[in-house]
Amino acid sequence: MLQELIQNGYGIKEDLNCAETILYGANQVYHLNLNPDSLRLAAAL
């Protein structure tokens, strides 16, 4: 499911880097319920 989401262009419109795309996508697909501060940490990677 995550692979399909990313292959369909998830994160392009939001201008996410590769680490952000995977983390934000996993948060959405697997219902991880990560808070926004946790997600922003991926921007540095």
Quickly list DSSP for 6-37: HHTTTTTTTT--HHHHHHHHHHHHTT----HH
Mean pLDDT across the stretch 31-43? 93
Task: Answer whether residue 42 shows pLDDT above 90.
Answer: no
Cβ atoms of 6 and 22 closer than 8 Å:
yes
pLDDT at residue number 45: 79
Task: Answer whether residue 2 shows pLDDT above 90.
Answer: yes
Task: Answer whether residue 4 shows pLDDT above 90.
Answer: yes
pTM for the whole structure: 0.86
Cβ atoms of 30 and 10 closer than 8 Å:
no
